Amino acid sequence: EVQLVESGGGLVQAGGSLRLSCAASGFSFGGSTIGWFRQAPGKEREGVSCISSGDGRIYYADSVKGRFTISSDNAKKMVYLQMNSLKSEDTAVYYCAADRYTDSGLRPCYYGMDYWGKGTLVNVSS
């Protein structure tokens, strides 16, 4: 059974930091594409950051560049999102997602992921 379990969300003041974690299991982690997406109230889901563990390429949305950092630990099957200088507009439910295939580069980040976690809420107060 595929599982993606997010943790680390919470309430933080603007300018603060949070670190999200995603524990993956049930699929081939090494070489896969894994990322973070978010959905704010009343808005469509958007891609925040993705990492292609096969070739190391990384994608960041323009809105988070320079503030967020994605990383992965293949041995532990974990993906992290370090979020600094948080803004009120970062408030959203953050989802961890992964592609079922390996060596797909960053394409799944743009065209769709196969596996999704249940999400963790990040609430940034201004």
How confident is the model over 77-104, as pLDDT tens digits?
999 999 999 999 999 999 999 999 888 8
> What are the backbone dihedrals phi and psi of residue 49, each rounded to the nearest 5 degrees, phi first?
-160, 145
At 102 the pLDDT is 86
The pLDDT, as a whole number, for residue 66 is 98
Q: How confident is the model at residue 53 (pLDDT cuts 50, 70, 90)?
A: confident
pLDDT band (50, 70, 90) for residue 13: very high
| 8 A C-beta contact, residue 32 and residue 78 | no
- Asked whether the predicted pLDDT for residue 57 surpasses 90, the reply is yes
Place of tokens 């993606």: 4
